[in-house]
Structure 1
Amino acid sequence: MLAGVVTLLGFIAVYGKITYEGHLVLRIIPQSENEVESVLQAQRIAEEKGYDIWHHSIGVGTPLDIRLSPEEYQEAHQGFSDLDLNHEIIINDVEAAGSSSSCGEWFDYGCYHRLEEINTWMAETAHTYSSMAEVITVSSSYEGRDIKGLKISGPGSGSSNPAIWLQGGIHAREWISPATLIYMANALLRDYTDGRRNVVRIVDGFDWYIVPVLNADGYEYTWSDDRMWRKTRSIHPTSDCVGVDPNRNWDHQWGESEGSSGAACSETYRGPKACSEPCIHGATEYLLNLSKNVTVRGFIDMHSYSQMWMTPWGYTKDVPETDFDIQDASSVAAVDAISNAGGPIYDHGTIANTIYISNGNSVDWAYGKLGVLYSAAVELPDKGQYGFLLPQDQIIRVGTETFQGLVAWATYVLEH
């Protein structure tokens, strides 16, 4: 059994829920090409030991963030010293950073919500906006949960509108992703009803398919057992380790480059085969069937963290020969709108060149298999101060800023 798994089991609380009291997140940033190899070596060692890597470094100026228990930190600190690497602590206590304040009304857009509450919200929203919204079931999970979404269309729209697909929660611990999609779905409906001209235009121009939580089992597990869980909850007979990275499980370039792992205990385990995970298999079938009747013009997979708006490819650092310029221009429209609204600066470019190489990811599949020109992966705030534990009091701000980016991006797609 991996040392990291043994350590993790040592932090299971009396009631069965894992606590991260005393765990910290450290950051190493290579400042020169000479330091890059040392940082990449530290990264490889961290992966071998089963440490929880929150952010991978890909070169000068890009951070390596790792969550460590106090015992792991003592070991890692010596290793970093041997490599002559300096580090800083960006989160002192993961458990404390992840604590949430109480919410007000039953569905407060400034709070994180469990899956059942999200599904109830979708049903009530579809009832409130019955002329514009309906609940759809796009897949099912390994543990038998329905994976639901909202379809939003302009009143009286026919069935021939092109589609935009937004999904989130594919990595379970990235709670800001579902929260932002929920906020933006409500904003589309609210601002359309209020007559906001640019929102009316994109709602009338597209049918919107918004799936807040694609990895339903993993997301629920982050509430019940382990806040830092990332993968699905599937069990495979070849391993004692649970789950697959659902964003390495899509059927495009699956396992064909360095951007995933064949080791079942790895956080980037791609699974025993492409689309082995029911949530991914069901979603791809839904999208393939949808594309038989309508053109899917846009696809966004919302993640956290790092503040990036990225396009294909993820599996290679080569860029699409004919499409990259227009794809990146759509990203520029989005990130400029976010910064103009007072939000943070986002990086943009291809996935592999902006964050890291990853094969079998959703965005490559949408572009490479489904033919969606405007496919994007969005890494929401922040830059690492809170990482995956963004406080609830920042949800509305992130939702508001990201919605400005979404409107600008969709307007670009509509016009091109």
Structure 2
Amino acid sequence: MAVKVLRLLALLWVTFEFAAAGSYEGYKLYEIATETIAQRNALNALAQEDADKYDFLSLSRLHTQKARVLVAPAHDESFQAELRNQKIPFELKNTNFGRTIQTEVLQNRMLRQAKPYNGTGRLGTERYYSHDEINAYLDDLAARYPTRVFVRIVGKTYEGRILKTITITNGDGVTGKNVVFMDGAFHAREWISPATVVYAIGELVENFEAHAELLQDYDWVILPVMNADGYEYTQSASAFRLWRKTRQPVTVNGTTCYGTDPNRNFGFHWMGKGASSNPCSDIYAGPSAFSEPEAVVVRDIMHSLRDRGILYLTIHSYGYALFYPWGWGPELPDTWEDLHEVAMVGADAIRDYSGTEYEVGSSTALYGEAAGASDDYAFSEGFTLSYTMELPHGGDSGFDPPPSDIDRLVKETWTGIRAMGLKITTKYPSPKQTLS
């Protein structure tokens, strides 16, 4: 009977997926490896001038990183013509991206059905988990480790989903320790981000003995899913898999578009370079700074930690990079050498562990201007160190590592995070503390 039910559910899911997948049906995915600075500049110009026609899933200022572009059937000929006119070589990676995405979303749903989480025990690395499942895991940890773990409701999303942080300590009752603040899932389609953050939570709590040094003089405050509305939206149907933004609607001149890029919505150089005033753009900065309740939640956490916050680390994908302020422009902070030093510790640890090479540098130097981002805001508000960590790509789009890759990627990333955590405990020791 159970087998029949699963087969029926699978059939229903397939039917739903094919009905909902129209937005990517027939889309082509291109990979572009520029060979000269002129080609890279031309590609950047194309991405900016025709952002509404071509979906640049990745684009770095570095020659070493390939760009991936998703192109609708109606724009395919013009896209190829543009590249040929600029003498930019390209490779067609997928002739029907919609079918690939259908398969991926269906696989994740079937894994969720086959391997449900019952609300107790550590989350695994065999599949991607929902926002509700991740919140249930936080509550379970608080119940099982009441002297070391504290879960707090910090706000709601636009659609009313509960956002929770977990504060991880060593249980010694000492107050006033320095703090690491980490978050995940700023961008909805980056599923590997919350998977990585959840794995880090599990290591800090359930593998405490192995990482006790990280918690001796530091507390960790972690928000695993910031953009919960968008994250759930990407899991609802393959047509929405590459959704990036939040879900709050904005109506301008009678036209309604949904969502704001939360990583352009922070009130430091808001609506500067690398942000858009077009509500339909993937990098729309919002109608005003902190228009998104999710960005307000992160801002308020930062403010509450202002006197103790040493490291802010926001986990994104993809890009093989650890970058630091500034993102609003080409200037470097006075303390850029300290920022670079700690980031290199993480990059070196990852390279030694798996051979994966991470680029390290300022956000603008590596990716171009991106004003209104959370890492710039955290640094401007007093965090000594602030980084965006762009994880490796996976799958066809780069944002869709298959479930079989989750374990490898989260463990590799944790190696770098742990190394950075150890470095700051000596470089920035906590002041003398008192028992609460």
**TM-score with structure 1 setting the length:** 0.89
RMSD: 2.1
Amino acid at match of 1:34: A
**1:377 alignment counterpart:** 388
Report whether the alignment pairs 1:113 with 2:129. yes
Any conservation in 1 of the 2:29–2:397 contact (CA below 8 Å)?
A: no
Hey, which bits of structure 1, 4+ residues long, moved more than 6 A? Answer: none
**1:234 alignment counterpart:** 248
Which whole-Å CA distance do the structure 1 matches of 2:346 and 2:328 have between them?
23
Report whether the alignment pairs 1:23 with 2:27. yes
**2:230 alignment counterpart:** 218
Q: Structure 1's 111 and 13: CA in aligned 2 closer, same or farther, altered over 3 A? A: closer
Which whole-Å CA distance do the structure 2 matches of 1:25 and 1:14 have between them?
19
Q: What is the CA-CA distance between 1:346 and the residue it aligns to?
A: 0.6
Amino acid at match of 2:47: Q
Spell out the pairing of 1:184-333 with structure 2 (5 A cutoff): 184-192=200-208, 195-196=209-210, 199-225=211-237, 226-238=240-252, 239-256=255-272, 258-291=273-306, 294-320=307-333, 322-333=334-345
Any conservation in 2 of the 1:27–1:90 contact (CA below 8 Å)?
A: yes
Query: 1:73-123, CA deviations, whole angstroms, 9 ceiling, x for partnerless residues?
Result: 233223322333221134454342534352535243221011111111111
Q: What is the CA-CA distance between 1:396 and the residue it aligns to?
A: 1.1
**1:74 alignment counterpart:** 77
Any conservation in 1 of the 2:183–2:223 contact (CA below 8 Å)?
A: yes
Which whole-Å CA distance do the structure 2 matches of 1:72 and 1:119 have between them?
41
Correspondent of 2:169 among 128, 149, 153: 153
Any conservation in 2 of the 1:136–1:149 contact (CA below 8 Å)?
A: yes
Identity of aligned residues (%): 28
**1:4 alignment counterpart:** none
**2:362 alignment counterpart:** 350
Which whole-Å CA distance do the structure 1 matches of 2:227 and 2:22 have between them?
20
Any conservation in 2 of the 1:56–1:356 contact (CA below 8 Å)?
A: no
SS of equivalent to 1:388: coil
Which whole-Å CA distance do the structure 2 matches of 1:15 and 1:128 have between them?
43
Q: What is the CA-CA distance between 1:188 and the residue it aligns to?
A: 1.1
Amino acid at match of 2:359: D
Amino acid at match of 1:113: Y
Q: What is the CA-CA distance between 1:371 and the residue it aligns to?
A: 0.8
SS of equivalent to 1:224: coil
Amino acid at match of 1:114: S
Amino acid at match of 2:235: W
Query: 1:13-62, CA deviations, whole angstroms, 9 ceiling, x for partnerless residues?
Result: 6654656344332122321133234323322343142x322112426444
Any conservation in 1 of the 2:251–2:257 contact (CA below 8 Å)?
A: no
Spell out the pairing of 1:42-81 with structure 2 (5 A cutoff): 42-49=46-53, 51-58=54-61, 60-81=63-84
Any conservation in 1 of the 2:323–2:361 contact (CA below 8 Å)?
A: yes
Report whether the alignment pairs 1:33 with 2:45. no
**2:3 alignment counterpart:** none
Identify the range of structure 1 (14-23 vs 29-38) with the bigger mean alpha-carbon deviation. Answer: 14-23
Q: What is the CA-CA distance between 1:67 and the residue it aligns to?
A: 1.2
Correspondent of 1:179 among 179, 189, 195: 195
Any conservation in 1 of the 2:324–2:375 contact (CA below 8 Å)?
A: yes
> Number of residues paired by the alignment?
395
Identify the range of structure 1 (382-391 vs 359-368) with the bigger mean alpha-carbon deviation. Answer: 382-391
Any conservation in 1 of the 2:395–2:402 contact (CA below 8 Å)?
A: no
**1:391 alignment counterpart:** 402
Tell me, which stretches of 5 or more residues in structure 2 are unaligned?
1-15, 118-122, 428-436
Which whole-Å CA distance do the structure 2 matches of 1:91 and 1:251 have between them?
39
SS of equivalent to 1:341: helix
Q: What is the CA-CA distance between 1:253 and the residue it aligns to?
A: 1.0
Q: What is the CA-CA distance between 1:145 and the residue it aligns to?
A: 1.2
Which whole-Å CA distance do the structure 2 matches of 1:348 and 1:90 have between them?
28
Report whether the alignment pairs 1:405 with 2:405. no
SS of equivalent to 1:163: strand
Q: What is the CA-CA distance between 1:277 and the residue it aligns to?
A: 0.4
Identify the range of structure 1 (92-101 vs 75-84) with the bigger mean alpha-carbon deviation. Answer: 92-101
Identify the range of structure 1 (268-277 vs 142-151) with the bigger mean alpha-carbon deviation. Answer: 142-151
Which whole-Å CA distance do the structure 1 matches of 2:88 and 2:241 have between them?
29
**2:8 alignment counterpart:** none
Query: 1:333-366, CA deviations, whole angstroms, 9 ceiling, x for partnerless residues?
Result: 0011111112411111111101221000000000
Q: Structure 1's 281 and 216: CA in aligned 2 closer, same or farther, altered over 3 A? A: same
Which whole-Å CA distance do the structure 1 matches of 2:70 and 2:388 have between them?
24
Query: 1:285-318, CA deviations, whole angstroms, 9 ceiling, x for partnerless residues?
Result: 2321233xx5111100100001111111111111
Any conservation in 2 of the 1:24–1:69 contact (CA below 8 Å)?
A: yes
Which whole-Å CA distance do the structure 2 matches of 1:383 and 1:174 have between them?
10
Which whole-Å CA distance do the structure 1 matches of 2:242 and 2:319 have between them?
17
**1:89 alignment counterpart:** 92
Which whole-Å CA distance do the structure 2 matches of 1:410 and 1:177 have between them?
18
